[in-house]
Chain A
Amino acid sequence: MKALEVTQATKRFGGLVAVNNVSLSVNQGEIFSVIGPNGAGKTTFFNLLTGIYPPDEGKILLFGKDVTGLPPDRIAKEGVGRTFQNIRLFGAMTVLENLLVGMHIHIRVPYFHALFRTPLARREERRAEEEAKRLLEYVGLSQRKDELAKNLPYGEQRKLEIARALALRPRLLLLDEPAAGMNPRETEELQAFIQRLREELGITIVLIEHDMRLVMRISDRIAVLEYGSKIAEGSPEEVRTNPRVIEAYLGKGAAGGAA
Chain B
Amino acid sequence: MSTLSLLLSLAYLGLVFLAPGALSNLFGLLALGATAFLRLSPTWRTLNLALLTLAFTLGLVRSGNTLGLIGLVGILVALTTLPRIPGGIRVLLGLAILLLSVPMAGFANTFIFELGIQIGIYAAMALGLNVVVGMAGLLDLGYAAFFAVGAYTWAIFGSEQAKNFMQGNFPLPGEYMYLFMGIAIVTTALTGLLIGLPALRLRGDYLAIVTLGLGEVVRILANNLDHPINFTNGPQGITPVQRPPIEWFRELMGSLGVRLDQTTDYQLFFYLLVLLMIGLVVLANVNLANSRFGRAWVAIREDEVAARSMGIPLLPTKLLAFMTGAAFSGVMGVIFAAQRTFVSPESFTLLASITILGMVILGGMGSIPGAILGAAALTILNLDVLKTFSEFVRTSLPQIPSQVDPAKYERLVFGLILVLMMIFRPQGLIPEKRHKAEMEEA
Contact = CB atoms under 8 A, between A and B. Distances in A.
B288 interface: yes
B306 A121 contact: no
Contacts of B308: 52, 71-73, 76
Contacts of B296: 101, 104
Nearest to B302: A90
A52 B303 CA distance: 13
Given A88-B305, A92-B434, A92-B441, A104 B291 contact: no
A91 B309 contact: no
B303 A73 contact: no
Interface residues of A, number: 37
Contacts, number: 101
A114 B291 contact: yes
A92 B435 CA distance: 7
Given A92-B437, A93-B302, A72 B292 contact: no
A157 interface: no
Contact of B292 (A74, A84, A107): A107
Contacts of A109: 291-292
Interface in B309-334: 309-314, 320
Contact of A84 (B293, B295, B306, B441): B306
Contacts of A121: 287, 291
B354 interface: no
B310 A93 contact: no
A76 B310 contact: yes
A125 B309 CA distance: 21
Q: Tell me the interface secondary structure of chain B in the complex.
A: helix
B72 to A, nearest CB: 30
Contacts of B435: 92
B299 interface: yes
Given A91-B437, A93-B434, A104-B295, A71 B290 contact: no
A93 B297 CA distance: 12
Contacts of A240: none
Given A97-B295, A114-B287, A91 B312 contact: no
B385 interface: no
A145 interface: no
Interface in A74-105: 74, 76-77, 81-82, 84, 88-93, 97, 100-102, 104-105
A50 B309 CA distance: 7
Which label, helix, strand, loop or mixed, suits the secondary structure of the A interface? helix
B37 to A, nearest CB: 28
B421 interface: no
Nearest to B366: A92
A71 B298 CA distance: 20
Contact of B310 (A71, A104, A111, A114): A104
Given A111-B293, A114-B287, A91 B441 contact: yes
Nearest to B307: A101
Contact of B441 (A71, A125, A128, A150): A150
B295 A91 contact: no
Contacts of A164: 310
A201 B433 CA distance: 36
A180 B326 CA distance: 45
Interface string B273-300: 0000000000010011011110110110
A73 B311 CA distance: 4
A117 B290 CA distance: 9
Nearest to B303: A88
24 contacts: A52-B305, A71-B314, A72-B308, A72-B309, A73-B308, A73-B310, A73-B311, A77-B311, A84-B306, A89-B306, A90-B299, A90-B303, A90-B306, A91-B438, A92-B435, A92-B437, A93-B302, A104-B299, A104-B311, A109-B291, A121-B287, A121-B291, A164-B310, A168-B311
Interface of A: 50, 52, 71-74, 76-77, 81-82, 84, 88-93, 97, 100-102, 104-105, 107, 109, 111, 114-117, 121, 125, 128, 148, 150, 164, 168
